[in-house]
């Protein structure tokens, strides 16, 4: 067990060491300079209901965003679909689908998709600044391929390969990134949880396509047009390091209260501190609440010190019901989460899970 644990820790340290010069050299002054910000959006309803506090505790498909080591906790098959109304009133929708399957006594494979529907945007040009010449539709999609393994009753670890795709009608960009995570459970009733995850490690990305070219007259008084191709600057990925812990307090009969905390170090914006609570009755009815704090959050959205549209408050609930009366029966679950924002109507997520 100790030998396996050392291997996982060494892998994470190696990833951190290789990426540290470019990934963690940033600070809040670099906010907005990273690309692919959708990598920092949690698309799942259950784990977002307490503000990503449960990174040491997350299990199943949702662990592919939170801490990939958690997918190793499934029994056989976990299927999850979530629809998110992002910043209600903007018309932005997020659809996510994922599944995890056990492929060995201690190994699990996972696959998930996250797609944005931003809607149609009016096309404008220098000669038609008011539009009227058509619309275009941006496309954002992330594909995750994950593997996790249970090394002992206490330790699990995993890796997640992300494929990032962004495009409009005449430009596109594709990139890859890697997540790595560890979960450790201890205590007399396996009620103490620790987790560490390093996310979005990958090479820089850049856009290419006909959208970077324009036709221009390069010579005065010339009737010949030339196609000029502009260079697109490269951008880095929003690397993130999370260190989390949780404690399960079992009281009364079949009741649980979990206290969770998570420290998030962001390479291109401010560090965040997350705390959350989850109450469970018989693991059938669950209530969650969490708060995410960062420096300047209370300054107000118009203050230059506030760099986040989210106000920090998160809440959610789940109902999990077995679909048969045997102990190993599949479980059907419905999840909901709300994320408070300064503007618009907040972010609402609705999810459904089937656990075999």
Separation CA 255–CA 282 (nearest Å): 6
User: Residues 219-252: pLDDT tens digits?
Assistant: 777 777 778 888 889 999 999 999 999 999 999 8
Separation CA 123–CA 136 (nearest Å): 6
* pLDDT for residue 274: 97
Within a domain: 296: yes
Within a domain: 350: no
User: Residues 316-327: pLDDT tens digits?
Assistant: 999 999 998 888
Within a domain: 156: yes
Within a domain: 352: no
DSSP codes of every residue in 175-210 = EEEEEEEEEEEESTTS-EEEEEEEEEE---B--BSG
* pLDDT for residue 306: 87
Tell me which residue of 285, 262, 271, 129 sits closest to 194, measured CA to CA: 262
Separation CA 83–CA 356 (nearest Å): 22
SS3 at position 355: strand
Whole-number Cα distances in Å, 30 to 176, 199, 231: 22, 18, 22
User: Residues 109-135: pLDDT tens digits?
Assistant: 999 999 999 999 898 887 788 888 888
Tell me which residue of 46, 75, 16, 13 sits closest to 289, measured CA to CA: 46
Tell me which residue of 176, 210, 171, 198 sits closest to 36, measured CA to CA: 176
User: Residues 169-206: pLDDT tens digits?
Assistant: 889 999 999 999 999 999 999 999 999 999 999 999 99
Per the structure, the count of domains in the chain is 1
pLDDT band at 9 (very low <50, low <70, confident <90, very high): low
Within a domain: 198: yes
Within a domain: 356: no
Domain range spanning residue 201?
A: 2-334
The maximal CA–CA distance of the chain, rounded, in angstroms, is 87
- What is the pairing mode between strands 285-293 and 272-281? antiparallel
Within a domain: 53: yes
pLDDT band at 20 (very low <50, low <70, confident <90, very high): very low
CATH (domain of 233): 2.40.160
For the chain, give the percent of residues with pLDDT over 70. 92
* pLDDT for residue 23: 43
Within a domain: 254: yes
User: Residues 30-85: pLDDT tens digits?
Assistant: 777 889 999 999 999 999 999 999 999 999 999 999 999 999 999 999 999 999 99
């Amino acid at each position: 067990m100790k030998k396996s644990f050392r291997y996982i820790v060494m892998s994470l340290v190696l990833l951190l060491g290789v990426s540290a010069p470019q990934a963690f050299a940033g600070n809040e002054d670099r906010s907005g300079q990273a690309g692919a910000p959708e990598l920092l959006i949690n698309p799942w309803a259950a784990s977002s209901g307490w503000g990503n506090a449960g990174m040491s505790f997350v299990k199943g498909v949702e662990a592919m965003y939170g801490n990939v080591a958690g997918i190793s906790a499934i029994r056989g098959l976990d299927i999850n679909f979530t629809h998110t109304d992002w910043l209600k009133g903007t018309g932005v929708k997020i659809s996510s689908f994922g599944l995890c399957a056990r492929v060995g006594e201690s190994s699990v494979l996972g696959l998930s998709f996250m797609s944005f529907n931003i809607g149609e945007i009016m096309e404008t040009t220098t000669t038609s600044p008011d539009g009227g010449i058509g619309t275009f539709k941006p496309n954002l999609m992330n594909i995750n391929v994950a593997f996790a393994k249970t090394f002992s009753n206490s330790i699990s670890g995993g890796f997640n390969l992300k494929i990032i795709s962004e495009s409009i009608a005449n430009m596109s960009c594709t990139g890859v990134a890697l997540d790595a995570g560890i979960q450790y459970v201890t205590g007399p009733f396996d009620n103490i949880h620790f987790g560490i995850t390093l996310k979005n490690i990958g090479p820089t990305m850049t856009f290419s396509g006909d959208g970077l070219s324009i036709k221009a007259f390069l010579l005065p008084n010339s009737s010949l047009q030339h196609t000029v191709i502009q260079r697109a600057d490269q951008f880095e990925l929003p690397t993130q390091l999370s260190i989390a812990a949780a404690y399960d307090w079992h009281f009364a009969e079949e009741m649980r209260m979990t206290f969770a905390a998570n420290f998030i170090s962001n390479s291109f914006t401010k560090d965040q501190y997350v705390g959350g609570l989850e109450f469970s009755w018989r693991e059938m009815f669950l209530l969650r609440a969490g708060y995410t704090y960062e420096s300047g959050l209370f300054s107000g959205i118009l203050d230059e010190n506030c760099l986040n549209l989210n106000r920090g408050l998160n809440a959610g609930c789940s109902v999990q019901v077995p679909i048969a009366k045997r102990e190993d029966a599949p479980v059907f679950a419905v999840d909901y989460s709300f994320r408070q924002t300064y503007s618009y109507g907040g972010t609402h997520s609705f999810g459904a899970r089937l656990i075999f």
